Structure 1
Amino acid sequence: MAPTRRIAVVGASLGGLRTAEALRTLGYDGQLVVVGEEPHAPYDRPPLSKDFLTRPMSVDELTLRSRDRLDIDWRLGVRATALDPGARSVRTTDGVLSDLDGVVIAAGAAARTLELSGLAGIHTLRTAADALAIRESLAVAARGSGAVAILGAGLVGCEVTASCRELGLSAVLVDPAPRPMARALPGVVGGLMAEEHRREGVDLRLGTTVTSVRGRNRISGVELSDGTSVEVDALVVAVGSVAATGWLAGSGLDHVDGVLADEWCRALGGGGRVVAVGDVARTPRPRGGPERGEHWSLVVEQSLVAARALLGDLSPGVPAVPFFWSDQYGRRLQIVGSPRDTDAYSVETSEQGWAVSFTRDDRLVGLAALDLPGRVAAARRTLRTASALARSNHGGAS
């Protein structure tokens, strides 16, 4: 009797679902087992900091619908606890999955936390449960001081801030950096977005941080490093994420700040049978060392590459044209390319919005634009052409 063919997907996430879809599309007809720590089917996370906070949405409304009938064995509410690439097995809280054809690591990341008081009303945002708790705290704030503090002016922090203002709440946005989104984008873009926040009535406290919180059972205020204090009924801590790799201890994989993988998403040390996609994957970038990419479009691209790799198809890896976006105040900020890999930039404005073009040696390397989708589309075409030409000149993937 022939052995059962089976691939395990660890992470009922966007990356996990899209990789499973790709495997089926590419002809894999063995068993697909998806292990997910949350009780929910894969759902769309970007709305958690936006519409989900401002509307009475249910988690079911965020569920990602599969384009095909996938015939998946869903193991939801189950956590992976160990991986043994040599034995081709994954241990979970529900048992052991063994004799696997391959493993897809799509476990995502967890919100980074700070050592603040355990008072009610202090939150991080990563899961649907987190967003539901924040939504309840925003309702409490609306009945109380009407004020919320957000620590961390990255993309998530800025989106939560915009959601608070949409609800009519006072928002105090705190970050040690001099501009919003300082880690993700050059200063000129952060400066322009700071103007957007101020225009919407946000109290920006940049170059400072939260040092302590006040309150008995529930938070009532925050103390800042500049010596000031603010009365609030909720605090959202949005200071980045940590790759969900603790369960990989002893696996032989390099899993420091994400699973180190090659351009085909194959985990180093996995013998070609383990791939990593999404927030948990640390993959090569056009310039510099491997990095984790936490953007929706990259996850979708990686999923197809990873599925091909598991089936032995080493087609060219993930396209070297990053793209992501952020919705704030009913406007859309879009970023394409590598804005940080620049030696010059130019700003153009119009009645609709603005765009910042980033160049190196007089060649476009990135663009950030607010409400100018046409400029973004043109930049994506230019950068894709340049990427394809560069790959051709170097003889393709190696």
Structure 2
Amino acid sequence: MEQTWRWFGPKDPIPLSHVRQAGATGIVSALHDHYRGEVWPEDAIAERKAVIEAAGLRWSVVESIPVPNAIKLGGEPAREATAAFAETMRRLSRAGLQTICYNFMPVVDWTRTELRHPMPSTGLALRFDMTDFVAYDAYILARAGADRDYPPDLLRQAEARVGVLTPEQVQRLEATIIAGLPGAEDSHSRQGIANVIARYADLSPDDLRANLRTFHETVVPVAREVGVRLCIHPDDPPFSLFGLPRVVSTAQDLDAIFGAVPERENGLTFCAGSFGARADNDLPALLEAHLERVHFVHLRNVSTEPDGSFVEDDHLVGNADMVRLLALLLREEARRREEGRSDHLIPFRPDHGHLLLDDQDKTTLPGYSAIGRLKGLAELRGILATLTHPTYGVLQ
């Protein structure tokens, strides 16, 4: 498997020289200065690739070309936005980039409620607290209809939570939820997010699925034509936020997506943490069902609670059995090699990571500190070395 590292470009606090020290050989990046649905300039693509290669690394995965709300809402505006996405794909292909990760989450991208949650012995973690989220949705944002989307007990707990939050805590919670985490498509003000949510008022889950299918019916043939592998990232978290539909959360969702447009270029970013945030997702079974079209892997772990809350745990602690998942992926690589597939090497990255040691006092991007990801990559690398050992490995 190819060891990669997400890098947010020249403004990333972690330089590429440090990525090389971590042992990664591939870079996962995107042009975040061109992130509002416009076509990416070819000179900017070439410049990013040159910077990465000058550091002795390879731009392995594009994460992400954003999918604007116009595409998710469908209709005439979606056609122009989809054409822009397809043209960016063509330009990336001409630059030699073949793997593109993207997501289809409406309004908000990956979402947490706390960025520095104290762990018992492993630094500070990202956390999604369901009570805090409902407190924001129902009583701070005061979204119309929010009271119908949650159980009465949870609403009572959320109302009580709001009653003890200071103005500073309210501001921090709001910024964490809606201001945009690293790599997110957009950021919002309170009124701004209310306005965008209102645009989805009449959009059902089936409508969103239909709009995703329409999008795929346009861009997947282009991907096949230019030699690009698209890989959709699951919803994070994998359940409704702000009453909005999310349709890349479960095994049934994936069956529908890939059944509708079955070409292998219509692929999957298997994110163990995102799928693992639903206790009812069987991660090995979900992975096995779609191994042939897994083009990229995010490896992180979460520990869940009965109300849907979760914390990003150590890479080897939580809902995901990393040993089993990596064994499945290595077997798939071997199968692809035997088949003669050019994409037999599957890129993966250690996703997120705890704030450890003196990273707690440095400027870091939430989830993307150096030491926490370095620790995760080292642990995952150890599993890979064990599974493939010529004498003791179980895959020989």
TM-score (norm 1): 0.30
Select the structure of larger CA radius of gyration.
1
Between structures 1 and 2, the one with greater strand share: 1
Greater length-normalized contact order (CA 8 Å, ≥ 6 residues apart): 2
TM-score (norm 2): 0.31
Between structures 1 and 2, the one with greater helix share: 2
